[in-house]
Structure 1
Amino acid sequence: MTFTLTVSDEVRTLVPGFTHVAIEAHGLVNGTSTEESSALLDEAARRLAKRLAGRAPHEDPHMVAWRDAYTAFGAKPSRTRNSAEALAKRALGEAGLPRINLLVDLYNAISVARLIPVGGEDADRIRGGMRLVRATGEEDFVTVAGGAETVEHPEAGEVVWCDDSGVTCRRWNWRQGPRTRLTEETVSGIFLLETLAPMPVAEAESAAAELAELLEKFSPTARIQVHPPAPAGTPA
């Protein structure tokens, strides 16, 4: 990987069953959503409904584990859902899943179909390495509110992803900042799939392989590498 991606010991102690798989991709082709990417989102909603078999998303064992993790660092999971649960709820609703752009559609489809939080970052906008840490409460999180850029600060002890310029995603995988989002100009990306026990590590790796195949299909000349889960205490 061209930069480091680390998980702090504090986070590993808080949630010992955490695993992440990273996909690094360069030479990507992004753009507006297409009929093909839209069809993938529709199919993901069908796969989700089959997986849940009538249950609500928060009743799935993996989502239960994420709710427990959010509670452990002080968040209220029924108000600030992890990204996979939030997408699943939308997928099963009347409006369905949003169409953002091609790359976001691809990773959202995998997130919904597999019930795994998946994030995408513009690698060219990351400053230094990415770190999953418990916040001090003084870090900057630049976001947009009411159409204007504003700076927020995470709560002390909150689990956040950050780089050298500040927080990139609050409450683990709840809200991504606009600075590192995948836009239609993105050519290099980091895609992160995050799982907790009881989901087997092999399922996270299978989901990553499926996403890598989609990236290769829609960006045939891209250079794509899947980085397997790193042992505790080592950089990814």
Structure 2
Amino acid sequence: MQFSHSDAMWQAFPELRAGALHAGGIHADADVEAAIASFSAIAEARLAKAQEGEFPEIQAWRRGFSRMGLKPTQYRCASEALLRRFRQEHALPRLHPLIDLCNAISLAFAIPIAVFDTEKIAGDLEVRRAKGDETYLTFGGESEHPEANEVIFADSEDRAHARRWTNRQSGLSAVRATTRSVLIVAEALHVSAGDDIARLVETAADALARHWPATPKTAMLSFVSPRFEF
């Protein structure tokens, strides 16, 4: 399997920096509470100084959404949505240890992180513009079709595993108690995105290795090296 962004995406968003991680050995019994508390504290400290909308990481994604023709305050990147909820409630709901951990890392870095159950992905996964006939399964179990030219994560069977790029993942490949193998993707558009994504991927790989019997494989993606094989 491989993960990539289309050439057209790199050309349209040359400032994009992305990292990917694959790991097996995932289970739902890991105790990640200490790690979550540590990452949450970083977010708390930053939010005490400014709201998430002032973060350069979030502002860059808002500009990116505007360039995609989306209203940034209607459709938010995943990290902004998490930070907004965290600022209001000072906690996030617990879903699965891996998702809870990745959400906490996303809070700390203010960078969206997607986590996919690789067994639910058919063939390769590519971030590209939609044709409009792809299928997307909501978390409520309903089937939708992305709009033509919408940025999606599409597999080889034209199933969309995320809509509006970093806005919302699909229920089809969501991590569940039965998940054993995952693909984790982090993407950013801000000025220091390259360094920040590299730190995030290293942080995530270390956290996974400490909480699961996993030896994560990682990659930094670019226009000249756009594919991650795992």
For normalisation by structure 2, the TM-score amounts to 0.92
For 1:37-186, what aligned pairs fall within 5 Å after superposition?
37-94=32-89, 96-145=91-140, 149-165=141-157, 166-186=159-179
Give the CA deviation at 1:182: 0.9
Q: Structure 1's 193 and 234: CA in aligned 2 closer, same or farther, altered over 3 A?
A: closer
Q: Give 5+ residue unaligned stretches, structure 2.
A: none
Contact 1:24 1:225 (C-alpha < 8 Å) held by counterparts: yes
Asked if the contact 2:23–2:215 (Cα under 8 Å) also holds between the matched residues in 1, the reply is yes
User: Counterpart amino acid of 1:206?
Assistant: R
Count of aligned pairs = 227
- TM-aligned CA distance change 1:115 to 1:83, over 3 Å: same
Alignment check: 8 A CA contact 2:17 2:193 kept:
no
Where has structure 1 moved over 3 Å in runs of 4 or more?
A: 38-43, 230-234
Cα deviation for residue 140 of structure 1 reads: 1.1
Mapped partners of 2:173, 2:122: distance in 1: 10
> Given the superposition, is the C-alpha separation of residues 93 and 37 from structure 1 closer, same or farther in structure 2, using an over 3 Å criterion?
farther
Cα deviation for residue 39 of structure 1 reads: 4.1
Matched, 1:16 2:14: yes
5+ long unaligned stretches in structure 1? none
Secondary structure class of the residue paired with 1:41: helix
Q: CA deviation at 1:92?
A: 1.0
Give the share of equivalent positions with the same residue, in percent. 29
Please list the CA deviations of residues 39-73 of structure 1 after superposition, one character each: whole Å capped at 9, or x if unmatched.
43343332113234421101111111100111111
